[in-house]
Amino acid sequence: MRALEMEIDHLAVAGGTLESAAAHVEAALGVGLSPGGRHARFGTWNRLLSLGPAEYLEAIAVDPAAPAPGVPRWFGLDGFAGGPRLQAWIARVADLDAAIEALPEAGRAVALDRGDLRWRMAVPEAGALPWNGVFPALIEWQGPAHPASRLPEAGCRLAALEVRHPEAARLAARLAPHLSDPRVRFVEGAAGLLAEIATPAGVWRLA
């Protein structure tokens, strides 16, 4: 993978609680989620769903048992309101520093870990992602460990990701040099995300 080539790594569905976020995924797709873990740096926790050998989905929310992190939480979770929804898409890069140099609006590099998982992620200073939250979060995994390889096969795969924004064409042009996944579609409209997930029961939409 070239340093600035972006690949879909995972999707994040947020909720006011982890239970509501997980229930939203399970109701939309008809499959159960696996236990995840806690992110001490940002005071969040998650549950996971395999989308294949190199992709997955997480339900994520503020961890009520965690102390305040002292910095804005990622994915704009500090200001999260309303029902659970597909909140972010996360793109994998081989060289996060080079990716941030090319796309500085992605944020600053933050080193993170959970168990034996090690990764670096670009997190904006304010927590929320730019472009009304539909800009991809950038991640660089360190070492061979990856959550997707540890999750039970659920028979689910990402078929398409619709990225909606009032200036969708401009966002698509901004990412075009680094993103070539034909599953990602940029559509003009109110900012938001919509995923089409192939499941054992058919293709279902997750928003």
Q: What is the pLDDT of residue 68?
A: 93
Model pTM?
A: 0.96
Cα 80 from Cα 42, distance rounded (Å): 14
DSSP labels, 38-54 = EETTTTEEEEEEE-SSS
The tokens for 119 are 């990764």
Q: What is the pLDDT of residue 2?
A: 46
Cα 42 from Cα 187, distance rounded (Å): 31
Q: What is the pLDDT of residue 4?
A: 78
Nearest to 169 by CA among 183, 188, 193: 188
Q: What is the pLDDT of residue 75?
A: 96
Q: Where are the domains of the chain?
A: 7-153
Asked if 39 and 114 touch (Cβ cutoff 8 Å), the reply is: yes
Mean pLDDT by 10 residues, the chain (207 residues): 79 98 97 96 97 98 96 95 97 97 97 94 96 98 94 98 98 96 98 98 97
Q: CATH assignment of 7-153?
A: 3.10.180.10
Q: What is the pLDDT of residue 1?
A: 38
- Cα angle for residues 180, 185, 191 (degrees, 5° grid): 125
